[in-house]
Amino acid sequence: GIQVEQSPPDLILQEGANSTLRCNFSDSVNNLQWFHQNPWGQLINLFYIPSGTKQNGRLSATTVATERYSLLYISSSQTTDSGVYFCAGYSGGGADGLTFGKGTHLIIQP
Amino acid sequence: DTGVSQNPRHKITKRGQNVTFRCDPISEHNRLYWYRQTLGQGPEFLTYFQNEAQLEKSRLLSDRFSAERPKGSFSTLEIQRTEQGDSAMYLCASSFWADQPQHFGDGTRLSIL
What is residue A95's predicted lDDT score, i.e. its pLDDT? 61
Q: Is A90 exposed, middle or buried (0-12, 13-18, 19+ CB in 10 A)?
A: buried
What is the pLDDT averaged over residues B12-37? 96
Which of A35, A92, A95 is nearest residue B45 as measured by Cβ atoms? A95
Interface residue of B6, B102, B106 to substitute, partner A, most A CBs within 10 Å: B102
Partner A contacted by B46 (CB < 8 A): yes
Partner B contacted by A76 (CB < 8 A): no
Average pLDDT of chain B, as a whole number = 93
Question: Which residue, among A90, A33, A64, has the nearest Cα to B98 in the 3D structure?
Answer: A90
Partner A contacted by B103 (CB < 8 A): yes
Chain A / chain B CB contacts < 8 angstroms:
72
Which pLDDT band holds residue B103 (cuts at 50, 70, 90)?
very high
pLDDT one-digit tens code per residue, A32-50: 999 999 988 899 999 999 9
- The answer, yes or no, to whether residue B53 has pLDDT greater than 70, is yes
Q: Do A41 and B42 touch (CB under 8 A)?
A: no
Give CA B11 to chain center in angstroms.
14
What is residue B102's predicted lDDT score, i.e. its pLDDT? 94
Across the 110 residues of chain A, what is the mean pLDDT of every consecutive 10-residue run?
Answer: 94 97 92 93 94 97 96 97 95 78 96
What is residue B59's predicted lDDT score, i.e. its pLDDT? 80
Q: Find all residues with CB under 8 Å of B1, minimum gap 6, and list them.
A: B26
Partner A contacted by B12 (CB < 8 A): no
Q: B80-85 contacts: CB < 8 A, separation 24 or more?
A: B80/B18, B81/B16, B81/B17, B81/B18, B82/B13, B82/B14, B82/B15, B82/B16, B82/B17, B82/B18, B82/B19, B82/B110, B82/B112, B83/B15, B83/B112, B84/B15, B84/B112
What is the pLDDT averaged over residues B10-19? 97
What is the pLDDT averaged over residues B65-80? 94
Which pLDDT band holds residue B85 (cuts at 50, 70, 90)?
very high
Residue type, B5: S
